[in-house]
């Protein structure tokens, strides 16, 4: 059975509601789905993620984050080995030009089928696009970390999906977008398993 990890974040930077936290709550308890809400703190979020990855060893990871300036769902393609923030995280930390992993690769690329997910979202008229930058805040730090996991676990796939504020896309639509992304992750894993030689 495919085990998928779905993560979201707590509210941050004056945003009273983080839709990703609510999305994760909707999916809690679903069979073969592990859910976790991360702190919006550079160090703690990465530590939390590494812990749950080690405990569950998922086949796929979908991390969700809020892009307060977006009007559509965004599938992130690249994570940078960089923490550089114009605002403090929820612990008051504000790194500038710091590597997330000294000596690590400068960038890591998402291993999920982001193009297929965007196509499927468009097919049900959910505004969506791909993005070449997850920023340099905590979302990027989490994506870089989870892609380190998929690099060291070749059977696994993972990526990051930004969602807009609820006043731009309602919660039910964001949940639907997440369902589609999760389905495509599961589909990718099953396709990889069935294509292996006997």
How many whole angstroms separate alpha carbon 40 and alpha carbon 30?
25
Active-site residue among 162, 167, 184, 190? 162
Rounded to whole angstroms, the Cα distance separating 8 from 20 reads: 5
Choose the catalytic residue: 21, 139, 155, 184.
139
Judge whether 31 counts as a catalytic residue: no
Angle at 45 between CA 86 and CA 81, to 5 degrees: 60
Per the annotation, the verdict on 10 as an active-site residue is no
What lies within 8 Å, CB to CB, of 44 at 6+ separation is 38, 91
Candidates 16, 52, 19; CA nearest to 36 is: 52
- 76, 125, 179, 184: the catalytic one is 76
- 162 in catalytic set: yes
Residues labelled as active-site residues: 76, 139, 162
């Amino acid at each position: 059975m495919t085990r998928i990890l779905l993560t979201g974040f707590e509210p941050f930077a004056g945003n009273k509601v983080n839709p990703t936290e609510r999305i994760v709550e909707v999916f809690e308890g679903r069979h073969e789905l592990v859910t976790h809400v991360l702190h919006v703190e550079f160090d703690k979020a990465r530590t939390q993620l590494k812990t749950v990855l080690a405990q569950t060893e998922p086949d796929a990871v979908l991390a969700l984050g809020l892009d307060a300036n977006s009007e559509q769902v965004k599938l992130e393609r690249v994570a940078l080995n960089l923490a550089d923030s114009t605002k403090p995280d929820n612990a008051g930390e504000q790194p500038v030009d710091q590597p997330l992993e000294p000596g690590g690769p400068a960038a890591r690329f998402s291993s999920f089928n982001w193009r297929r997910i965007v196509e499927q979202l468009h097919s049900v008229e959910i505004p969506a696009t791909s993005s070449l930058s997850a920023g340099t805040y905590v979302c990027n730090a989490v994506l870089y970390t989870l892609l380190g996991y998929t690099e060291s676990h070749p059977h696994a796939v993972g990526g990051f999906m930004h969602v807009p504020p609820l006043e731009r896309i309602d919660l039910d639509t964001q949940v639907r977008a997440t369902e589609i992304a999760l389905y495509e992750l599961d589909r990718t894993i099953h396709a990889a398993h069935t294509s292996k030689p006997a």
